[in-house]
Amino acid sequence: MTKFVFVTGGVVSSLGKGIASASLAAVLESRGLKVTLIKLDPYLNVDPGTMSPFQHGEVFVTDDGAETDLDLGHYERFITTRMKRSNNFTTGQIYKSVLEKERRGDYLGKTVQVIPHVTNEIQEYVKRGAGLGSPEAVDVAIVEVGGTVGDIESLPFLEAARQMSLKMGPTNSAFVHLTYVPWIAAAGELKTKPTQHTVQKLREIGIQPDVLLCRADRAVPDEEREKISLFTNVQLHGVISMWDVDTIYKVPRMLHEQGLDEMICMKLQLLTKPADLKRWDRLVHEVEHPAQQLSIAMCGKYTDLSDSYKSLNEALRHAGIQHHARVHIEYVDSETLSDANVDQLSRFDAVLVPGGFGKRGVEGKIVAARYAREHKIPYLGICLGMQVATIEVARHLAGLAEANSTEFDPATPHPVIALIDEWQDRDGSIQKRDQGSDLGGTMRLGAQSSDVQRGTLAHQIYGDVVTERHRHRYEANEHYLERLRQAGLVISAITQRDKLTEIVELPREVHPWFVGVQFHPEFKSTPWDGHPLFNSFIKAALEHQASAQKPLKAVA
Ligand code: GLN
């Protein structure tokens, strides 16, 4: 029998509901339970795939090719259950499904309404996410409701949660509410009023939380906890303090020590072994006691919002942990990079060009790839970063001065990167693909496998086969591969099914570590083992640092 924990949020957003949910899941998993997490997003976009990373942060891609909320990345990094398409859905998806049913006549002429049709649909999706009725059914599904209580948008989700809990009975569901307790400096006090009000809002719609997670910049003292308990009707031991920490990996222990998992297991009548957080403690110890440090230049476009590269930042840090090294990531805005100022990259131990879309900042990324190649600085190009490395080699080593991707210059005489149907039909002229107006679902998405060529750096890292996740439209143009090979580029992995270029690199005689990958390895990195590609990249960066014997510099 699957039990459900609904996690809601109050007062303001960005309090770390995703981390709190993932942490609870991690502690429950350590008690031997099979756990999954489901994220409900109350916006009308069908998925976050078409949303700007400025607005929405990273789009996390699952093995089965779903473009999802970045919280699913936290989930995969915190628990062992892998996320699937069904672990994240939006209001847009719910309405789409309800409207399709209505058109098909499934509702037999009834008036279709938010209650019960939309709320029923939400419950079906939640159950599907928990694997109900399948061999993959979990013991506990933690359902994170996006948005803030009081928003019009999230009402149907909360109503669906209330109904589910009513149907399942009190021992099969629990409600956890994350709230904010602000410190008012002028008064020198933590204020509980916003928490009182947000719980009132919840109770108005029939939800009495079992637990309050009180986010504050400091620990919430007993006096305030008692006050919160009294006004919110939550047992005192259910009022849990969640203060700011320097690493998210401290959160599972913080919640466990205040009895959160014990309380949830009591409520849900789950008999389990005790929690075991030793590996989290070891992880925190590693994070806090690095033996060395290094700095990496991340040359991208979404530089003012590190959420755009959430998984990538995490993957670099995980790999650092494997080498007992603290990784400092410095964002270099590729729009401002040019031949005139690219030597600013000389002070870094490695250069990384991450994924991206659109023309803006691309020339700066090409400049960065060239600088890293010529100065033998370890270079990792991810997705677009592989494409710019390929363009760079084409322009400066293969003599194709105007080489480009058709994404940035549709009329380029040398489309070394192009849409598949542009180059597959190609007989001298580029055929323009009609992309139509639907931007959803036109990408190569999800996990695919490639064969890796022996004797290459990629083979040393991955072995014979690499399976990684994708999210892109453009590909290395087969018609140019021979020319690029002659110019010194090694094509070290080719997809098994479509024979597409998956990894490019430079031979080690020419460059110590220069790799471009068409996939997104960052989605599969965990804090436990790191990820083989990032581990190798960080090792190369440390070797570069040692060989350059540069003084260590701390980058904030
Ligand atoms: N814009 C490129 C493409 O669509 C790269 C995408 C990416 O980096 N994720 O192929």
Name the burial class of residue 506, with classes exposed (0-12), middle (13-18) and buried (19+) by CB atoms within 10 angstroms of its CB. buried
Amino acid at position 296, single letter: I
Q: For residue 276, give both structure tokens.
A: 């075991």
3-state DSSP assignment of residue 353: strand
Residue entry with tokens 């031997």: 32
Q: For residue 377, give both structure tokens.
A: 């600085």
Q: What beta strand segments (E) does 26-127 contain?
A: 35-41, 60-61, 67-68, 88-90
* Ligand 1: residue whose CA is nearest its atom 5: 384
Name the burial class of residue 464, with classes exposed (0-12), middle (13-18) and buried (19+) by CB atoms within 10 angstroms of its CB. exposed
- Give the containing element (helix H, strand E) for 414: strand 414-419
Of 143, 138, 169, 141, the C-alpha closest to 157 is 143
Of 160, 189, 187, 191, the C-alpha closest to 173 is 160
The tens place of each residue's pLDDT in the chain, 556 residues long, gives 899 999 999 988 889 999 999 999 999 999 999 999 999 999 998 888 777 766 778 899 999 999 998 999 999 999 999 999 999 999 999 999 999 999 999 999 999 999 999 999 999 999 999 999 899 999 999 999 999 999 999 999 999 999 999 999 999 999 999 999 999 999 999 999 999 999 999 999 999 999 999 999 999 999 999 999 999 999 999 999 999 999 999 999 999 999 999 999 999 999 999 999 999 999 999 999 999 999 999 998 865 566 788 999 999 999 999 999 999 999 999 999 999 999 999 999 999 999 988 899 999 999 999 999 999 999 999 999 999 999 999 999 999 999 999 999 999 999 999 998 886 654 444 444 444 445 555 788 999 999 999 999 999 999 999 999 999 999 999 999 999 999 999 999 999 998 999 999 999 999 999 999 999 999 999 999 999 999 999 999 999 999 986 555 554 4
What is the reported pTM? 0.90
Ligand 1 atom closest to Cα of residue 475:
10
Using a 6 Å cutoff on CB, does residue 357 contact ligand 1? yes
**Ligand 1 geometric centre to CA of 105 (Å):** 40
226 CB-near residues (< 8 Å, 6+ apart): 236
- Give the containing element (helix H, strand E) for 127: helix 119-129
Using a 6 Å cutoff on CB, does residue 356 contact ligand 1? yes
3-state DSSP assignment of residue 391: helix
* Ligand 1: residue whose CA is nearest its atom 7: 355
